[in-house]
Structure 1
Amino acid sequence: MTIRAVVKGVGHYLPERVVPNSKFEAIVETSDEWIRSRSGIERRHFVAEGQTTSDLGTRAAQAALADAGLTADDIDAVIVATSTADLTFPSAATMVQAQLGMTHGFAFDVQAVCAGFVFALTNANALIISGAARRVLVIGAETFSRLMDWTDRGTCVLFGDGAGALVLEAATGDGTNADRGILATDLHSDGRHKDILYVDGGVSTGTTGHLRMEGKEVFRHAVEKLAETAHASLAKLGMSGEDVDWIVPHQANIRIIEATAKRMQVPMDRVVVTVQDHGNTSAASIPLALSVGKARGQIKPGDLVVTEAIGGGLAWGSVVLRW
């Protein structure tokens, strides 16, 4: 018998404020057509004044717990993937833990920018298969609207706020590819590429800073590395794109999503796409898409799902799981 980390529940939360592309026409030199044609984004959600990343994460966690038929008392650990924690410290995860009413277990953040949720899932999987935790809440939550330079049309139109969450639970499997749960993971980073995607603030500057990105370079790395990491995870299982029911990619740009699917030889009708409605929500984008994909009736029990993401660092990776 093999211990697997199985998805027990999924949920998401989006702030109430919806911002269509047209809103940016009065801020920077852009248009709805320009944004759509280059990114596929039509609208995104922004947090309200006083609303925090941990608030979003808590709401998504509550939705995932309800979907799983569990309460916070059933959870052993909380992992929050985020680059926009409420404070420098303590972690957003401990704040979610408190808002959920948990006074037991442990909580911590994972910071790998847009790849954060893949890194968090991999950590949660390791905790479960090692026996350190039986049930783990894995959350991606971001308030990237607070990092935007509103004079930079190349970045400010791309990002949104939101949160998604999964409940992972230990279960026994036969040790085959037919098992439910996380089957394979693949993680990478390369700090030499820091300058193509970063925030120019932090404790060294005494400022929050703004997101800075060299879009063409990020695009090039993303298309190359996302397909490679997805193939690497599948190869560990002796599988290929033909075996995949759904790709649930990081929702950064429709052109990156399409190019990656093409390299994996997976048709777009087997790719969950939400970028048009949410924009790039960084570490929240994959759990958001998983939750929406289930709600749409796309992702069903037994489906083989591949998630892959790349973010600042550069950091990138993938997870193969059976729903």
Structure 2
Amino acid sequence: MFNPVITGTGVFTPEQIITNDELVETFNAYADLMNAQNAEAIAAGEMEPLEHSSSEFIVKASGIEQRYVIDKTGVLDPKVMHPLFPERADGEISLMAEMAVDACHKALAEAQVDASEIDLVICAASNMERAYPAVAIEIQQALGAGGFAFDMNVACSSATFGIQAAADMVRSGSANKAIVVNPEICSAHLEWRDRDCHFIFGDVATATVIERDSDAKGDYFEILSTRCATEFSNNIRNNNGYLRRSRPYGMEDRRDMQFMQNGRKVFKEVLPMVSKHILDHMADNGVESDDLKRIWLHQANKTMNDFIGKKVLGRTPEAGEQPNILQDYANTSSAGSIIAFAQNSKDLESGDTGLICSFGAGYSVGSIIVRRH
């Protein structure tokens, strides 16, 4: 048995930014357009008019101030309201793989590992660009890695589930050096025309290198323990699967083909589930609240994170103990906790203990207890 450690992380950030003000201006123009087109039905009481959004509403509901996206032109066109991605030929690298490779190169550079040394690639993300061939295998080829690769989808918990799988394989010896990559093109599955959720997501890609501690060439985080849990719920759902695509329909009439959630039920059910999961994981490993120097949580909603942080620590987290990045990145699904970890972990001292946790649709929750060396 070997001891798995995290030796490098990388983040790919798109160049384009959509601010709350830009998003609100577009959404309100769309709402006015729809209300004008359906004026008679609205007057007859057959349908409700679309409400305007506001930057104040977005910040209060989520803590989000902006988001990075691959394409903002389509999103900010009131007559389009979705990203516009040019079609790529089968011989060209896919968009997901292109993002992933960028993040992987950054993680490999930090770990001082050559891509040819990697013998396991896991592409763990909420929405895959295609059913097959696996995007992970495409990433493997683009990197020049060896071994094997596969895709994984556990929604917003994909990164932590992927890290557990990679850590277990490194521990057992079935893989020597692994990279878990999370290319999240969330803008493509978000319904930008829905006031309740049009502000939630952004695009990004993260990567994490996991290898044996004996192979580490610099500072690293020892993976002390991992834990995953799932419980089925329909409160966060996207029905846009390949079986649905085989049936004729008009996309504009199928609201369930994009991201959907029952926000109130998610808050009520997920918060106690995640808090208990973390506390049980800590207790089983002899980790006290005072032992945690930092918590890197899934970046979905500031209110949720504040609640969980207070439950785990038994007090309101101090500045820096529970870093949030969603004000800049918005919700980036599985990548959020890894962005927080990548950007807010280098200052920890040897022996410091921290916890990475992600949670989301499923329901799913994954936690990783790490120690700095």
Q: Does TM, normalized by the shorter one, top 0.5?
A: yes
Change beyond 3 A, Cα 1:75–1:59? same
Change beyond 3 A, Cα 1:300–1:31? farther
CA offset at residue 301 of structure 1?
Answer: 4.5
Describe the SS at the equivalent of 1:129: helix
For residue 226 of structure 1, the aligned residue among 274, 291, 299 is 274
Matched residue, 2:227: 186
Q: Does 1:133 align with 2:175?
A: yes
Change beyond 3 A, Cα 1:261–1:164? same
Q: Does 1:162 align with 2:171?
A: no
Taking the aligned partners of 1:32 and 1:301, their CA distance within structure 2 comes to 42
Matched residue, 2:7: 8
Relative contact order higher in (CA < 8 Å, ≥ 6 apart):
1
1:139 and 1:287 in contact (8 A); partners too: no
RMSD of the alignment, in Å? 1.9
My pick for the range that moved more, 132-141 or 247-256, is 132-141
CA offset at residue 166 of structure 1?
Answer: 1.1
My pick for the range that moved more, 119-128 or 46-55, is 46-55
Structure 1, unpaired ranges of 5+: 173-178
CA offset at residue 114 of structure 1?
Answer: 0.4
For residue 277 of structure 1, the aligned residue among 328, 331, 338 is 328
1:6 and 1:170 in contact (8 A); partners too: yes
Taking the aligned partners of 2:195 and 2:132, their CA distance within structure 1 comes to 31
Aligned residues: 312
Taking the aligned partners of 2:318 and 2:98, their CA distance within structure 1 comes to 33
Give identity over the alignment, percent.
28
CA offset at residue 317 of structure 1?
Answer: 2.0
Taking the aligned partners of 2:192 and 2:224, their CA distance within structure 1 comes to 42
Matched residue, 2:238: 199
If you compute each CA radius of gyration, which structure gives the higher value, 1 or 2?
2
Structure 2, unpaired ranges of 5+: 29-51, 72-84, 87-93, 215-219, 252-256
Equivalent AA in structure 2 for residue 82 of structure 1 = A
1:142 and 1:284 in contact (8 A); partners too: yes
Describe the SS at the equivalent of 2:3: strand
Taking the aligned partners of 1:99 and 1:262, their CA distance within structure 2 comes to 43
Change beyond 3 A, Cα 1:12–1:196? same
Q: Does 1:305 align with 2:323?
A: no
Taking the aligned partners of 1:315 and 1:90, their CA distance within structure 2 comes to 25
More strand by share: 1
Q: Does 1:66 align with 2:109?
A: yes
Equivalent AA in structure 2 for residue 196 of structure 1 = N
Taking the aligned partners of 1:322 and 1:141, their CA distance within structure 2 comes to 26
Q: Does 1:41 align with 2:64?
A: yes
Change beyond 3 A, Cα 1:299–1:155? farther
Matched residue, 1:82: 125
1:308 and 1:316 in contact (8 A); partners too: yes
1:232-283, CA deviations, whole angstroms, 9 ceiling, x for partnerless residues?
2211211122110110000000001100001012614211210111011001
Matched residue, 1:176: none
Change beyond 3 A, Cα 1:215–1:82? same
The normalised TM-score by structure 1 is: 0.91
Describe the SS at the equivalent of 1:165: strand
Matched residue, 1:117: 159
CA offset at residue 13 of structure 1?
Answer: 0.7
Taking the aligned partners of 1:300 and 1:293, their CA distance within structure 2 comes to 12
